[in-house]
Amino acid sequence: MFIAMNQFTVIPERAADFETLWRTRESHLQGLKGFVQFSLLRGDEPGDYLSHTIWESREDFIAWTASDAFRQAHAARTPDGILAGHPRARFYEAVIVESGSRSPA
């Protein structure tokens, strides 16, 4: 399992605008080889957000980043005045995975 995340620092007064952008976007993720799940996470600190994708493998994620679907999904830029800087990308290989009887909400 491979996890790719981007950490965003959003200007707190623009958090609703940021969430709306994500809710209304076309992700172009469905049906891609190896795609498992996407989540947009809001942290406890105002303006702290993570986009979080789970992939079956790093190779599947890399194939996504080289695809037309990736370019389409990232074609729209975040309007000025929403982010307080550039997102920070983070990548992780799963070492241990435990699952419960229920899927996460």
CB of 94 closer than 8 Å to CB of 54: no
Domain extents for the chain?
A: 2-93
Give which of 39, 43, 62, 54 is closest to 97, Cα–Cα.
Answer: 54
pLDDT in tens, the chain (105 residues): 999 999 999 999 999 999 999 999 888 898 899 999 999 999 999 999 999 999 999 999 999 999 988 888 888 788 899 999 999 999 999 999 998 877 666
> pLDDT at position 26, please?
85
Q: Which of 1.10.10.10, 3.40.50.2000, 3.30.70.100, 3.40.50.300 would CATH assign to domain 2-93?
A: 3.30.70.100
> pLDDT at position 103, please?
62
Task: Kindly provide the residue ranges of all beta strands, DSSP E only, lying in the chain, ordered along the sequence.
Answer: 2-9, 35-42, 48-55, 88-93
